[in-house]
C-alpha cells in the first residue's frame, strides 16, 4: 500500500487522542487494579480502600476519573455508594485486553484466585489458609506454624499476592460464601461459620460491603 493510501485510511487525529487518553487513564497501576476488581464485582469505596491498603480519598480520586470516562456506574444503597464497571462493549473489551495481555506478558498472572507466585513458600502458606478457611488464623499463628517472623511473613505474602493476608483471604471467604449460597441449602448462619465468621452479623456486613446485597438477597436472586 502506498503512503498516500495509508494516510487516506488513517482515523482522524481526535480519534487517536481519545484512545491515547484512555490508555493514559489506565496506565496507573492502582487505577488499573480498581478497574479490574470492578469488572468482577460491585464494591464500595471503603471496601476497595481496605482491599488495596489505600486511604478512602485516594480511592475516591481514582473512582472519579474512571467514572468521568464512563467506565463505571454507581448504585446508592442507603448512605453507601457501590461501583462496578459499566456494562458496555468498551469495558468488556478493555477487561479482556487487560487479562489477555497479562496472560501473554505475565504467564504467572492467572487472576487473583489462581495466582501461582514464584515464592513457593508463600504458596504453601496460602494453601494452608484455604484448607482452613473456616478458622480465623492470626499472623502470629502462621508465623509460629511456618517459623517466620510476622513482619517478614506479611511483607512476602503481599509481594506474592498483591494484597494483605486479611484482605486476600476475605475475598476467598466471600467467593466461597457465594458458591454455598448458590449451590447448597445451608443456612446463612451455617455458611458464615464455614467461611470463618463466628458472628453471622459480621459476615452479613462484609458480604453486603462486597456485593451490595445481604446473603439472603443474593440467594433469592439466583435462578431456581
**pLDDT tens digit string along 112-139?**
444 455 678 888 898 899 899 999 899 9
Q: How confident is the model at residue 10 (pLDDT cuts 50, 70, 90)?
A: low
Q: How many domains does the chain have?
A: 3
0.85 surpassed by pTM = no
**pLDDT tens digit string along 137-169?**
999 999 888 888 888 889 889 888 888 899 889
22 plus 97 within the same structural domain = yes
Is the CB of residue 177 less than 8 Å from the CB of residue 207?
Answer: yes
27 plus 93 within the same structural domain = yes
Q: Which long-range contacts does 9-14 make (Cβ < 8 Å, 24+ apart)?
A: none
28 plus 92 within the same structural domain = yes
Residue 186: per-residue pLDDT: 93
Q: How far apart are CA 224 and CA 221, in angstroms?
A: 9
Residue 65: per-residue pLDDT: 93
Query: Domain for residue 125, yes or no?
Result: yes
Domain boundary at 81, 105, 129, which?
A: 105
Domain boundary at 165, 188, 207, which?
A: 165
Q: Where residue 21 sits, what CATH number does that domain have?
A: 1.10.10.10
Q: In what order do the strands lie in the sheet with 43-44?
A: 43-44, 80-85, 72-77
Amino acid at each position: 500500500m502506498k503512503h498516500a493510501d495509508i494516510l487516506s485510511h488513517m482515523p482522524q487525529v481526535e480519534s487517536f487522542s481519545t484512545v491515547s487518553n484512555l490508555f493514559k487513564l489506565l496506565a496507573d497501576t492502582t487505577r488499573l487494579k480498581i478497574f479490574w476488581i470492578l469488572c468482577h464485582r460491585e464494591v464500595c469505596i471503603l471496601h476497595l480502600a481496605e482491599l488495596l491498603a489505600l486511604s478512602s480519598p485516594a480511592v475516591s480520586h481514582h473512582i472519579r476519573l474512571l467514572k468521568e470516562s464512563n467506565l463505571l456506574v454507581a448504585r446508592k444503597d442507603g448512605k453507601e455508594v457501590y461501583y462496578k464497571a459499566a456494562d458496555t462493549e468498551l469495558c468488556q473489551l478493555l477487561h479482556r485486553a487487560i487479562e489477555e495481555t497479562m496472560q501473554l506478558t505475565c504467564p504467572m498472572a492467572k487472576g487473583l484466585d489462581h495466582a501461582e507466585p514464584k515464592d513457593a513458600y508463600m504458596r504453601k502458606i496460602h494453601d494452608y489458609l484455604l484448607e482452613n478457611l473456616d478458622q480465623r488464623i492470626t499472623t502470629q499463628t502462621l508465623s509460629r506454624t511456618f517459623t517466620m517472623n510476622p513482619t517478614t511473613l506479611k511483607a512476602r505474602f503481599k509481594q506474592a499476592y498483591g494484597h494483605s493476608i486479611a484482605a486476600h483471604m476475605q475475598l476467598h471467604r466471600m467467593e466461597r460464601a457465594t458458591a454455598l449460597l448458590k449451590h447448597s441449602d445451608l443456612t446463612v448462619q451455617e455458611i458464615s461459620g464455614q467461611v470463618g465468621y463466628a458472628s453471622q452479623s459480621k459476615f452479613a456486613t462484609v458480604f453486603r460491603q462486597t456485593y451490595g446485597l445481604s446473603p439472603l438477597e443474593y440467594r433469592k436472586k439466583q435462578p431456581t
